């Protein structure tokens, strides 16, 4: 399985688990924490995409810093 496809599968699994927990939770505080968890997953995925998209830029910056 390609790396990108695997990452999306893991993300989908994380959301499915959070969604299930959110659905069965009767505690408002716990539901709020689960929603925060969903937001964190989204932010981490977006950062990951930005890093992967700018990999060559990052490598050139690291090379210039190392010199």
Residue 13 clears pLDDT 70, i.e. is over it = yes
Instruction: Specify whether the CB–CB gap between 22 and 36 falls below 8 A.
Output: no
Q: Which residue has the higher pLDDT, 21 or 7?
A: 21
Average pLDDT over the chain reads 79
> pTM score, two decimals?
0.52
Which residues 6+ apart lie within 8 Å of 30 measured at CB? Answer: 21
Sign of CA dihedral 57, 62, 65, 67: negative
Instruction: Give the range of the structural domain holding residue 22, as residue numbers without chain letter.
Output: 3-66
Q: Which residue has the higher pLDDT, 28 or 41?
A: 28
For the chain, what is the domain count? Answer: 1
Counting residues of the chain whose pLDDT is more than 70, the rounded percentage is 85
Q: Nearest Cα to 30, choosing from 21, 39, 43, 20?
A: 21
């Amino acid at each position: 399985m390609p790396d990108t496809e695997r990452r999306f599968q893991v993300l989908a699994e994380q959301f499915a688990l959070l969604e299930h927990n959110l659905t069965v939770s009767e505690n408002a505080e716990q539901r709020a924490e689960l929603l925060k968890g969903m937001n964190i997953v989204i932010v981490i995925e977006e950062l990951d995409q930005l890093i992967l998209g700018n990999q060559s830029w990052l490598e050139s910056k690291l090379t210039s810093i190392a010199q």
